[in-house]
Amino acid sequence: MPCTPAASVLFVCVHNAGRSQMAAGFLTHLAGDRVEVRSAGSVPADRVNPAAVEAMREVGIDISGHRPKVLTTEAVQTSDYVITMGCGDACPVFPGRTYLDWELEDPAGRGVEAVRPIRDAIRTRVEALVAEIDAAGPAPTA
């Protein structure tokens, strides 16, 4: 019998090429099928930041197959958690969603050395998010 995810999480940053992709990679890795994971950008890039891909590879998570996606109203509306990383004003707001804004440096244009501390900060926040979701229990059914 398939497992119903405990929550749906949408990570949003401007280009959906660095921070939100790393966050999605960590959440998928740490929560597995317990959480539905999405990411999007208000102005998506053509590809995921290569330094972010390399930084994640260093910790055993492959995001090389990920592609930036455009932020849609539907993605926000169908998410339990909407986590913005530098584009909060571009996200529509719906009642009953949990909105968090994670202030993180933008890894755009930086090498892997500069991306590592951003990656590590994202991991810490994602671990706390997983604990919060697990403590809340299963998502209510509609």
- As annotated, the active-site residues are 13, 87, 91
Q: State the amino acid at position 87 in one-letter form.
A: C
For the record, the structure tokens of 28 come out as 């998928």
Q: How buried is 88 (Cβ within 10 angstroms: 0-12 exposed, 13-18 middle, 19+ buried)?
A: middle
**Minimal CA–CA distance to 22: which of 64, 68, 75, 63?**
63
Which residue is associated with the tokens 């706390």? 128
